[in-house]
Amino acid sequence: MLKKLEALHVPIDCIAGTSMGAVICGLYASGMSAAAIEKALAGMDLTDVAFDREARVDQPQAVRKDNLDYPVSLPLGFSSDGVRSASGLIQGNRLLALLQQHTGRLPGDVNFDDLPVPFRAVATDIETGDKIVLRRGSLPQAIPASMAVPGLFAPVALEGRTLVDGGIADNLPVDVAKQMGADIVIAVDIGTPLKRANQLTSMASVTQQVIGALISQNVRSQRANLGAADILLRPDLSGLAFTDFADAGRGIAAGAVAVDSSQVQISALSLTPQAWTAYLAGRNEHAFLPEGTKVDRVEVVANGRVPASRVRQALRTKPGDAYDPRTIEQDLAALNSTSDFENVADSLTGTDGDRVLRVTANSKSWGPNFLLFGLGLQSNFSGDGAFALRVGHRSRGSRKAGLNGVTTPCSAAAI
């Protein structure tokens, strides 16, 4: 859709997004063209990114063995307080790494008004239900907060709040765009129709229906804010679910068709080639970190059982080094791959002479003892078969320099 608007030379002076829309809008606001976004996402398996799947070659040997013996991934553990589960099936670490990779030139305390395209992300405060409009801070941390679908993605702690998907409060942020000063709003409604009662055949479908009902209510409210000059696009996404990341091409094609259906109205907003070139040249790039920016201090905040020394040991960046986002992300990816952490994130804040690289590492909150599950099937192809249910227990004992883990099969059943 953005690619079509660019081809028509339609200037976008500000942009606001919710949920998956915040991902695309945030990358576009950071200065990436629509073609650059498409190229960056086309070269990877988006399902693997969304669901935190790592290549085996990137995993430590102990994690590889656990995943081979116990391939059923359920985030369950126990402690002296009893059995606990994670706050979401997916922690979103690979998505965070992807966003940091493409927005590494931006500081972690940037004002979103200072981006090449002013931007807002919409999230929901899970404690109050209030709509939260994110205006500044770490762009790659704000975006996942906007798309943390309850139950699927873990909530995101940001600025003293616990945030989940913004679609619950405002899935079509027309009001946010108008508050940013937009005279004409191009609103994109990607909502899907609610299902009939006889189509709700599982707990998951009922939960999705409830969330969909909440979203449809706030979308109707926002559509009422559209004026005569505004444009509403409704791409046909029937048959696509939120989790159909591997089918993103269908969504892109549907967006292009929606723009074509309103091309007469949209073309009235087009600039001449000369004006379009001047518009692109006039985008603000002052927010980007200068080449050769130095890291003056390194701060590590470790929450949980994993000691800060373990995180420091894994970081190659030291005070006085040039800020290199790629090196830092490689180090954080290595930490995440150990399976000891719920999430690890970084941000560079401050001004020249006092640039602080802050790394926050959260140990898995459902430990320190973790339950692992596996299911084995076998057959002699002569009518005899068996299955085995395996349950493992992985404990992590603290060491002075880090952690060590032992996996023990707890029980197995075969029939």
Among all residues, which ones are annotated catalytic? Answer: 19, 165
Cβ partners under 8 Å of residue 236, min gap 6: 254, 257, 258
Q: What is the dihedral of CA 359, 364, 367, 371, to 10 degrees?
A: -140
Which of 226, 233, 230 has its CA nearest to residue 258? 233
Residue 345's alpha-carbon distances to 94, 137, 328, 355, in angstroms, are 11, 13, 10, 16
Take residue 282 and report the two structure tokens written for it. Answer: 């006039």
> For residues 82 and 99, what is the distance between their CA atoms, to the nearest angstrom?
35
Q: Is residue 186 within 8 Å of residue 195, measured between CB atoms?
A: no
Which of 361, 383, 278, 374 has its CA nearest to residue 314? 361
Residue 400's alpha-carbon distances to 62, 306, 309, 393, in angstroms, are 20, 10, 8, 23
* CB neighbour class for 22 (10 Å; exposed up to 12, middle 13-18, buried from 19): buried
Which of 284, 316, 312 has its CA nearest to residue 299? 312
